[in-house]
Structure 1
Amino acid sequence: MALSREEREQFLSEPHVAAIAVDAGEGRAPLTVPIWYQYAPGEDVWILTGLHSRKNRLLQATGRFSLLVDRVEPTIRYVSVEGPVVDTSPATVEKLRELSERYLPPEKVDGYVDFAWKSHGEQVVVRMRPERWVSSDLGSV
């Protein structure tokens, strides 16, 4: 059963690890990798990625991407969202902290943010405006 707009936006706003997919060019399958993301209902989705990463180069070349999030408990549910890149800006330690707090236990956030900020190289925030949604709750099996 397809989810309502409110259900799919609520599900996407939960801290699931997403699979991001971006066109990798002629003769290649889409680049699809796990990624942390941030979303609030009615707003843009955003991710952090390396400025010089293959993912960012593809995002800037194609100008759009999709995210897929899913779960298997208590029911099998998924939401896929696709749209254009609407902004790319330098990452800040505050954005890294916001994303880290979404996924990590509180006692791990400071250590991870310190490590990531020093070790992951220059990062960017890439924002996507959701245009197309596919969602379903398949119930329990």
Structure 2
Amino acid sequence: MALTREDREKFLAEPLVAALAVDAGEDGRAPLMVPIWYQYEPGGDIWIMTGRNSRKAAAIGAAGRFALMVDRVEPTVRYVSVEGPVVDTVQATREQLVELSARYLEPGKVEAYVDFLWNDDSDQVVIRMRPQRWISSDLGEA
């Protein structure tokens, strides 16, 4: 059963790890698909953070759009897939890294993780995507 708009947006707002897919434009290769942390609030844009010189950033920059898919298997089998255009790419801030990290890590681990990543590779960008096409389903207790 397809999810309502409210249900799919609420589900996407949960701190789930997404699978990011983007056409990397490489002949003979499938689209690039990798796990990624993301941030989303219902009704807004989705944002991810990645290294400015990463393969992801280059592929997203060239394609101008990407897709995310999140799923879970308990208490029901449910997924949401969303695709849309990139609307902004900006230099990431430490505050954004803290926000994203706090969504996924235990509170006591956030600062150490942020310190490590920020000092090791602070050339991060935030890429915002405007959700345009949605596919969603709740398969119940399949």
**In structure 2, what residue type is equivalent to 1:20?**
L
**In structure 1, what residue type is equivalent to 2:104?**
Y
2:31 paired with 1:23? no
Query: Which residue does 1:128 correspond to in 2?
Result: 129
Q: Residue by residue, what CA displacement relative to the aligned partner does 1:41-77 show, whole Å, maximum 9, x if unpaired?
A: 0000000000000110010000000000000000000
Distance in 2 of aligned mates of 1:130 and 1:62:
15
Partner SS for 2:66: strand
Query: Which residue does 2:96 correspond to in 1?
Result: 95
Q: Aligned-pair distance for 1:120? A: 2.7
Distance in 2 of aligned mates of 1:68 and 1:46:
14
Query: Which residue does 1:46 correspond to in 2?
Result: 47
Query: Which residue does 1:82 correspond to in 2?
Result: 83
Over the aligned positions, Cα root-mean-square deviation in angstroms equals: 0.7
Query: Which residue does 1:62 correspond to in 2?
Result: 63
Partner SS for 2:30: coil
Q: TM-score, normalised by structure 2?
A: 0.97
Query: Which residue does 1:7 correspond to in 2?
Result: 7
Q: In the comparison of the two structures, how many residue pairs are matched?
A: 141
Q: Which runs of 4+ in 1 moved over 6 A?
A: none
Q: Residue by residue, what CA displacement relative to the aligned partner does 1:68-94 show, whole Å, maximum 9, x if unpaired?
A: 000000000000000000000000000
Distance in 2 of aligned mates of 1:105 and 1:28:
37
Q: Aligned-pair distance for 1:2? A: 0.2
Distance in 1 of aligned mates of 2:84 and 2:52:
20
Q: Aligned-pair distance for 1:121? A: 4.1
**In structure 2, what residue type is equivalent to 1:78?**
Y
Query: Which residue does 1:110 correspond to in 2?
Result: 111
Distance in 2 of aligned mates of 1:4 and 1:65:
22
Identity, % of aligned pairs? 69
Distance in 2 of aligned mates of 1:90 and 1:121:
9
Maintained 8 Å contact 2:19/2:70: yes
Distance in 2 of aligned mates of 1:52 and 1:17:
22
Structure 2 unaligned blocks of 5 or more: none
Partner SS for 2:79: strand
